[in-house]
Structure 1
């Protein structure tokens, strides 16, 4: 019996190229369970605070929901107070717990991978859970996926630290945790794994960690979906790609979304550097100011706040003005308002992801572009819906530099596998045009720009170093010997 226990202990605590897969499986189990808790807590609080108390349909808002057409009659004061109060509580958390309480979550896990040896502070996942719950349930314009990626990464990192992993293995487990968080919350196991390894760099991806990420992501997805339900996040009626000529329009859509992505990144940074960091008020109050502005924007234009998945579904279903010009401008307004709302939420100090807002913005831009193409070329572009779906991938890719992950994520998100040809086109366009900018400050250019791969750089450097120039100073009088070398042999070397 003792022998079996020792064997089990050896298996659970031994670190090699095989056991990392087992640890990724365990990480996926933990991450899937926490993703379930996070999902139900955020949605439950959102429904309680907004749907029932403020009579504002935050979770199920439609594109055309408005106080001006009488579709909702909210408690105006509560719509203003709830985001403000949520922001104030987040500000208190920032004051006492530091930077891990704020931001997208993705930037923090990128910093952990590149600069901190895959290490995350013990309290960080719990703090992120709390602040993200406060931000999202009080109306913040952000997604669950960024915080869940960081929470999952934290689980992987802490598990690696517990079993005394080396730095390289701990980084792999950090990524597998992030993949599990993304795969579960998005119900996209392959997309979650690819995002975790691709979002690290602008021009590269972490191939060594792909298998652990897939194992963790599939495990977390299975646990999450067995309770929350299997199926796609959005319902999209399958439409076959039928005309090679239409690829020209998708090329233009890819270029349009790349330009819009660049403008959004500039806006996102400007809200932080030019507005919130320059306000002459205590930092603890900044999230509350952002929350108040979110409440005002929510009253003026309800679809702009919250996570926005129901708005994307409404646009796919055609729930927007039918006249082509009015409909196009309406969708463009939705995209711009979401850019503003997301910038207000995150850059004021709120905690939430930017991937779902990116999908939202891309869907609206795709709908805008598709409306124009359909109006002027109805025979070549018989439907607007495919442009909505492809626009999601185009914009997602242009702001994250995760082109392959974007097309896989969107197909899993919507079930639009028949749109793979145009999705591949916009992914390539984004890869070519958008690699010089990113939504994430801690995204490295490539592996050789990351401290995580200094060991890759050393052989290349040594190719250009001559022995004569390297051996100087004390190395002229000292030698390197083996531990098991006999004293007699050393004496012979010195004669």
Structure 2
């Protein structure tokens, strides 16, 4: 109680002394700083677990611990999420988008730490996923809960979710520009200049916190060695197409594998089967273990033989064809490993797997060309980096984020032209087959997310159950029209639902149906309602999506439709009540802006 009193006094003082605009800027900095600290804690925790587990690993021999660690990590994650945290995992960014679209930007308080705990265990034990999505969920939850604490409205809650996202991405990659663009491109649908500034502040703050605590020990960085050669442009164009197709392969295979695993009803059976499959893949292809950034660093530094360490093929490291085929196998199985990790009950995201797959794709592409055509002089490191950009652009449907992330982690814009080219081509290629990203596809299909359509978005926020009209007087099917006339005298409506003893709607009678006969006293005493009623043109349920309801109004040309739940009559919904609710929502949103 005392804490609430202090908070109330602070909020009153704030209203008197700090404008809303300045208050949001202050909160943006706070959210960015806390998100930055969370990113540092998560990254440090994962690296600590990995160092503890890998200290007895052999560099040049097979490590059979690979058969145990990923499985243990997934099982522990499942136990914690199921019995301690009591929440379902899956794709975290999808949950953030759902919260913004359907839950008024309210994210559970437990999300501020739950994904940090579970992803640290999953990735620390070798799960083939990344930390970026979990830290985005953490940052978003921090923003949402701080906004709730100080009683901000929906628009400002959403803005602070974007600030948490920007601060988290900025901190984990030390990429403030990429953090801002990711928040705008993936999380926030529409951003004006007034909203842009707080996101900038949060992103910069997150980056500064990360630098202060970790120095240059960031997740991934590389200093460019080779310049961009314009003569390589045709090769980059083909790489863009290849990245788009690899992105499509990653996306479709993720849907397929997760769908197959979801059919296993028992959570522990799913974890054991998925964990065992993942362990077997990692035993054969060790680079798939964990996030995979060390593998990308080895490729960028020209140490391709390091990719074969701890594998069956290390003795053949001098054979260039073996390395090419090995990388091709990694490309084929990495999406399966990532989807299996998440589908089996692990915690993590596809951000890092898309970067990893892109880096391997770019290196494989350039290495194959130079192997087949030795006279070509392609920069393997440049193609690796541009490949990372291309696949990330395609998988996440975030071309700008991909461009600026790679530009920032290479500390320059030397590759800006090929990054833009490959990113655009990859995005265009996958968009031909997949209109939406992994994050948004299922939400759009269910009607829980409506991108780039403000009218439909506002409409989707209207809950039908709140506008059901229950003031219509019902009549029994065995009643006479004389009984109906008595109801007409008491009713202010011209529709009369015909409802039986079981509460089921059998039909409707309107005032127009009986207008001519209602003054004939003899006739109306002998006519039974059942013989005079008509069937409604359509009916809806109280939990039906508003877009579906409006489609039924459109097809039936009706102005009122009955609401039926589990066969029982609930009430009626009218077009006018929907339009009124829509108008109120729109006015409220405009006022909040």
Aligned pair in 2 of structure 1 residues 455, 107: CA closer, same or farther (>3 Å)? closer
- In the TM superposition, what are the counterparts of 1:45-444 in structure 2 within 5 Å? 45-48=49-52, 50-52=53-55, 55-56=56-57, 71-72=60-61, 74=63, 76=64, 78-96=65-83, 100-200=87-187, 206-207=191-192, 209-230=195-216, 233-243=220-230, 245-273=231-259, 275-279=260-264, 281-320=265-304, 325-375=321-371, 381-415=377-411, 417-435=413-431, 436-440=435-439, 441-442=442-443, 444=449
Measured at CA, do residues 12 and 419 of structure 1 come closer, stay the same or move farther in structure 2, by a change above 3 Å?
farther
Q: Provide the rounded CA distance (Å) in 2 between the counterparts of 1:12 and 1:141.
A: 51
CA distance in structure 1 between the aligned counterparts of 2:154 and 2:343, rounded to whole angstroms: 32
Q: What count of residue pairs does the alignment treat as equivalent?
A: 438
Give 1:493's aligned residue. Answer: none
In 2, Cα distance between equivalents of 1:174 and 1:395 = 26
CA contact (8 A) 2:85 2:114 kept: no
* CA drift at 1:161: 0.1
The alignment partner of 1:447 has SS state of: coil
Q: Which protein has the bigger strand share?
A: 2
In structure 2, relative to structure 1, the CA distance for the partners of 1:12 and 1:37 (3 Å cut) is farther
Matched, 1:446 2:451: yes
Cα deviation code 1:79-101 (max 9, x no counterpart) = 33332222222222333367854
Tell whether the 8 Å contact from 1:251 to 1:426 is kept in structure 2 after alignment. yes
Give 1:434 shift.
2.7
SS state at 1:434 partner: helix
1:370–1:161 CA distance, 2 compared to 1 (3 A): same
Q: 1:197 to 1:140 in 2, by over 3 A?
A: same
Change (3 A) 1:85 1:454: same
Residues 14 and 418 of structure 1, relative CA distance in 2, 3 Å threshold = same
Q: Which has the higher contact order (CA 8 A, sep 6+)?
A: 1
State whether residues 366 and 378 of structure 2, in contact with CA within 8 Å, keep that contact through their aligned partners in structure 1.
no
C-alpha contact (below 8 Å) 1:305/1:338 kept by paired residues: no
Provide closer, same or farther for how the CA distance between residues 207 and 364 of structure 1 changes in structure 2, counting only shifts above 3 A. Answer: farther
For residue 25 of structure 1, what is the aligned residue in structure 2? Answer: 29
Task: Calculate the TM-score normalised by the size of structure 2.
Answer: 0.68
Q: Structure 1 residues 6 and 133 mapped into 2: Cα distance closer, same or farther (>3 Å)?
A: closer
Deviation, 1:44, is 0.7
Superposed displacement of residue 39, structure 1? 1.4
Which one has a bigger Cα radius of gyration?
Answer: 2
- The Cα of 1:377 is off from its aligned counterpart by 5.5
Distance 1:158 1:408, change over 3 A: same
Q: For 1:378 and 1:108, how far apart are their aligned partners in 2?
A: 48
Q: CA RMSD, aligned part only?
A: 3.1
- Greater alpha carbon shift after TM alignment, 81-90 vs 186-195: 81-90
3-state DSSP of counterpart to 1:31: helix
In structure 1, distance between residues paired with 2:455 and 2:149: 25
Deviation by residue 1:349-403 (Cα, 9 ceiling, x = unmatched): 2111211111000011111111233345666643222110000000000011110
Task: State how far apart, in whole Å, the 2-side matches of 1:450 and 1:41 are.
Answer: 44
**Cα separation, partners in 2 of 1:377 and 1:453, compared to 1, 3 Å:** farther
Structure 1's unaligned 5+ residue stretches are 58-64, 66-70, 462-468, 475-495
- Structure 1 residue 20 displacement after superposition: 1.6
Looking at structure 2, the residues matched to 238 and 450 of structure 1 have their Cα atoms a distance apart, in angstroms, of: 50
Q: Distance in 1 between matches of 2:205 and 2:108?
A: 24
CA deviation string 1:283-305 (max 9, x = no partner): 24423432232222222221111
Q: Secondary structure at the match of 2:364?
A: helix
Are the counterparts in 2 of residues 82 and 138 from structure 1 also a CA contact under 8 Å?
yes
Tell me, what secondary structure is at the counterpart of 1:240?
Answer: coil
Query: Any unmatched runs of 5+ in structure 2?
Result: 1-8, 305-316, 463-549, 551-558, 560-573, 578-593
| Distance change (3 Å), C-alpha of 1:313 and 1:449 | farther
Structure 1 residue 416 displacement after superposition: 5.0
> In 2, are the aligned partners of 1:91 and 1:288 still within 8 Å (CA)?
no
Cα separation, 1, equivalents of 2:575 and 2:97: 39
> What whole-Å deviation, never above 9, does each CA across 1:334-360 have from its counterpart, x for those lacking one?
222322211111121211121111100
2:44 corresponding residue in structure 1: 40
Q: Does the 8 Å contact 2:182/2:401 carry over to 1?
A: yes
TM-score, normalized by length of structure 1?
Answer: 0.80
